[in-house]
Amino acid sequence: MTTDSTSTELPQQQAYSESPTTGGLADVQLAENPEPRCACLLLLDTSYSMNGEPIRQLNSGLIGFKDELIADELAAKRVEVAVITFGPPQLLCDFTEATVFQPPTLTASGDTPMGAAITMGLDRLQERKKTYDAAGISRFRPWVFLITDGAPTDSWAGAAQLVHDGEARGAFSFYAVGVQGADFAKLNAIAPPNRPAAKLDGLRFRDLFSWLSKSMHAVSRSTPGTDVNLSTPGWISAPG
């Protein structure tokens, strides 16, 4: 899909759970907290074009995300957050419970190796799911949230195929969000065909992360395999 259109709404999702295996406890947090887990992977563009107000607003949004997550007792126990930035691709925060998550202070530099960041993130997500399974921990369908204001500066076709294949088998839900300046033709080619990229209204990162935290609250309070009604994302820019 290579259209440059953007989405003004995001489809409802299921709190889907793949069938886990059981095994020995392989993680201290999992041993101490056996609650089902919802992994949330943030893939954040920190290329030089994000310098200035965009990166400041993104940092502010991350802080608000943490604050809202831990304000909900169940979400705080069930949601795990990881942060990968690009470029270059860096795992700034591995999957950790919301109560322990410390929002990194992001700085803007470099180019936009989006393909490598997506591949790194999906590999890390798969490893975390294996850890849940080894610990006998139930898991909801993970969320992967990509935010960018540009276009990939590396090879991205392979990463797009990983996204499409993972979505098709229910391994995760992938959301792509473009800030002003993003290449929506390429972003939509990466995004799942049933969920085209959404365009952020201005620099409303705080509103975006508030919606994301509320969505995590809803998922964490659901039962795996049931439908989850998500609130309308008011941070999406209208087309035109």
Overall number of domains in the chain: 1
Residue-range definition of the domain harbouring residue 198: 46-225
Flag whether the pTM goes above 0.75.
Answer: yes
- Residue 39 contacts residue 143 (beta carbons within 8 Å): yes
What percent of the chain clears pLDDT 70, i.e. is strictly above it?
A: 85
Question: What's the CA gap between 163 and 87, in Å, rounded?
Answer: 19
Flag whether 3 is in a domain: no
pLDDT score at 192: 96
Per DSSP, the three-state class of 131 is helix
- Residue 198 contacts residue 177 (beta carbons within 8 Å): yes
Q: What are the pLDDT digits (tens) for 53-80?
A: 999 999 999 999 999 999 999 999 999 9
Q: What are the pLDDT digits (tens) for 134-174?
A: 999 999 999 999 999 999 999 999 999 999 999 999 999 99
pLDDT score at 228: 75
What mean pLDDT comes out for the span 184-204? 96
pLDDT score at 7: 44
Locate all alpha helices (DSSP H) within the chain, ordered by sequence.
28-32, 53-70, 73-78, 114-134, 157-168, 184-190, 205-220
Name the strands in the sheet holding 143-148, side by side, starting at the edge strand that comes first in the sequence. Answer: 90-97, 79-86, 38-45, 143-148, 173-178, 198-199
Flag whether 170 is in a domain: yes
Flag whether 6 is in a domain: no
Flag whether 88 is in a domain: yes
Q: How many CB atoms lie within 10 A of CB 35?
A: 15
**Cα distances (angstroms) measured from residue 153 to each of 6, 86, 110, 133, 189:** 21, 11, 10, 35, 15
Q: Classify the phi-psi angles of 93: left when phi > 0, otherwise alpha if psi is within -120 to 50, otherwise beta.
A: beta
pLDDT category at 224 given cuts 50, 70, 90 is: low
- Give, as one character, the DSSP assignment of residue 231: P
Amino acid at 116: A
pLDDT score at 87: 83
Q: Answer whether the bond into residue 178 is a cis peptide, omega within 30°.
A: no
Domain with 94 in it: what CATH number? 3.40.50.410
Flag whether 142 is in a domain: yes
Q: How many CB atoms lie within 10 A of CB 2?
A: 8
- Residue 8 contacts residue 198 (beta carbons within 8 Å): yes
In which residue are the tokens 């907290």 written? Answer: 33
Question: What's the CA gap between 141 and 23, in Å, rounded?
Answer: 20
What mean pLDDT comes out for the span 7-31? 47
Question: What's the CA gap between 236 and 5, in Å, rounded?
Answer: 13
Flag whether 175 is in a domain: yes
Flag whether 119 is in a domain: yes
Flag whether 124 is in a domain: yes
